[in-house]
Amino acid sequence: MVVQDLEQIKEWVASIVGEEVVIEVNKGRKKTITKKGVIEKAYPFFFTLITNVDGSSQRASFNYSDILTKTIELEITRS
């Protein structure tokens, strides 16, 4: 998806709520973290992702601007 503004990102994320995704988080200095989870809910300024780590669920939140600035990348996994 080619992203041009935050409204498009919000609509796209809202359309994939409940989908399983792979998220790659850029932590700077060539450090990245890759997680697999499900988008739980999309709010006006952020969205939440639930991941399963070592048998326990963890919730993380991200801003839509993180996608715009390429701090995070989302990829939908197709089963």
* pLDDT, tens digit, 9 for 90 and up, residues 22-75: 999 998 888 999 989 999 999 999 999 999 888 889 999 999 999 998 899 999
List the chain domain ranges: 6-76
What does the DSSP assignment read for 3-68?
--SHHHHHHHHHHTTT-EEEEEEEEETTEEEEEEEEEEEE-SSEEEEEEEETTEEEEEEEEHHHHH
Does residue 29 or residue 4 have the better pLDDT?
Answer: 29
Per-residue pLDDT, 60: 93
Q: So what's the architecture of 6-76 in CATH?
A: Roll (2.30)
Q: How confident is the model at residue 79 (pLDDT cuts 50, 70, 90)?
A: low
- Whether residue 1 is predicted with pLDDT greater than 60 in this model: the reply is no
CB 6 within 8 A of CB 30: no
Per-residue pLDDT, 3: 59
